[in-house]
Amino acid sequence: MTLPDFLIAGVPKAGTTALHAALAGHPDLFLPSVKEPKFFLSDGPPPIVGGPGDVQTYQEHVWRRADYEKLFAPALPGTLKGEATPFYLYDLASHDRIKDLVPDVKLIILLRDPVDRAHSNWTHLWVAGLEEEADFLTACRAEQSRRANHWADFWHYIGLGLYGRQLQHLYQRFSREQVLLLRYRDLKDSPAQTLDRVCSFLGVRTGVLTSIPRENVNRHYVEDNAVNRVLRGLLRTGGEFGHHFPVPLRLAARGPVLTLLHRKRGNRPVTTPDERAALLPYFAEDIALLQDVTGEDYDDWLSLDRHAKAR
């Protein structure tokens, strides 16, 4: 049986891709080239409906156990095997699936200021041409209707940031010794020390990894103008390369449209003080719960100053 010894289980837009890339360079660890196999997110085939781009993403799910185990088959004897699917923390049902199949697994959780995380999430989908709302707060307020229409978890800008209730549920199934909590800011500001914490937690050599590979940050600036609205419509709906074409063809056709959408470069937008003030009430109660559950201090996340330290 070839199953993972550890999981990078959360959260989206908090450095999981960078951590996956860094750990893949450790000789005592093995991580498959397929990031986010999403195996524990379902008991069978993934959904067949969703929001813009969701169906194509569902096609990438590794949901058959035999296929999932094949991901780890190339691991050298003696190496620890792991994978990164940052939605495992958010999907409460996945906690039970993980517990049932790999009860002794170690879980690595990266947390990020929930307002900043939500904004980065919205920016990701906006730059990809999938988010139709040019206003961040409007997109956040659309969450309930999107849930009702079965859009995928990545559209849950607020829900994904309610870490307190998620960790409370996780700790009811796994011992705290099996869970390592990290902060996104620690990974960025103190990579060597943070990577040593991860390696020590996993029980492999420390001092081997000293830096985080540069994340794939998209620096394209996407304006909300008439031309871009047409391009974004094509990306969201499939346009002339619609669903009657095979998925690989549709994905290939996205490239030229994205190139046009990304024809300008510039700084990505940042969270404004007004946006932060509007969203903090959604998270305040859960941040208090998070502090009770973990015993750690997250008061800096309640600050209206986005330059507050230790985010």
Tens-level pLDDT at each residue, the chain (311 residues) = 699 999 999 999 999 999 999 999 999 999 999 999 999 999 999 999 999 989 888 999 999 999 999 999 999 999 999 999 999 999 999 999 999 999 999 999 999 999 999 999 999 999 888 999 999 999 999 999 999 999 999 999 999 999 999 999 999 999 999 999 999 999 999 999 999 999 999 999 999 999 998 755 556 666 666 556 666 666 676 643 444 444 443 455 566 655 555 666 656 678 899 999 999 999 999 999 999 999 999 999 998 875 544 44
Say if residue 275 is exposed, middle or buried (CB neighbours under 10 Å; 0-12, 13-18, 19+).
Answer: buried
Q: Residue 131: inside a domain, yes or no?
A: yes
Judge if 109 and 253 occupy the same domain.
no
H-run or E-run covering 98: helix 92-101
Residues 251 and 194 in one domain: no
Which positions ≥6 away from 167 have C-beta within 8 Å? Answer: 89, 109, 179, 181, 290, 293, 294
> Nearest 5°: CA angle at 276, between 275 and 282?
105
> Exposure string (b/e) for 37-49, b if CB count within 10 Å is 16 or more?
bbbbbbeeebeee
> Is residue 307 situated within a structural domain?
no
User: Do 105 and 253 share a structural domain?
Assistant: no
Q: Which CATH number fits the domain that encloses residue 41?
A: 3.40.50.300
pTM given for the model: 0.86
Spatial separation of the C-alpha atoms in residues 5 and 197, rounded to whole Å? 17
- pLDDT for 225: 67
What total of structural domains would you count in the chain?
Answer: 2
Please report whether residue 308 resides in a domain: no
Query: What is the sign of the dihedral through the CA atoms of 41, 46, 51 and 53?
Result: positive
**12 and 97 together in one domain:** yes
Instruction: Clarify whether residues 162 and 74 are in a common domain.
Output: yes
Q: Which domain holds residue 214?
A: 6-219+267-302
Instruction: Say what the pLDDT of residue 234 is.
Output: 62
Instruction: Tell me, yes or no, whether 164 and 256 share the same domain.
Output: no
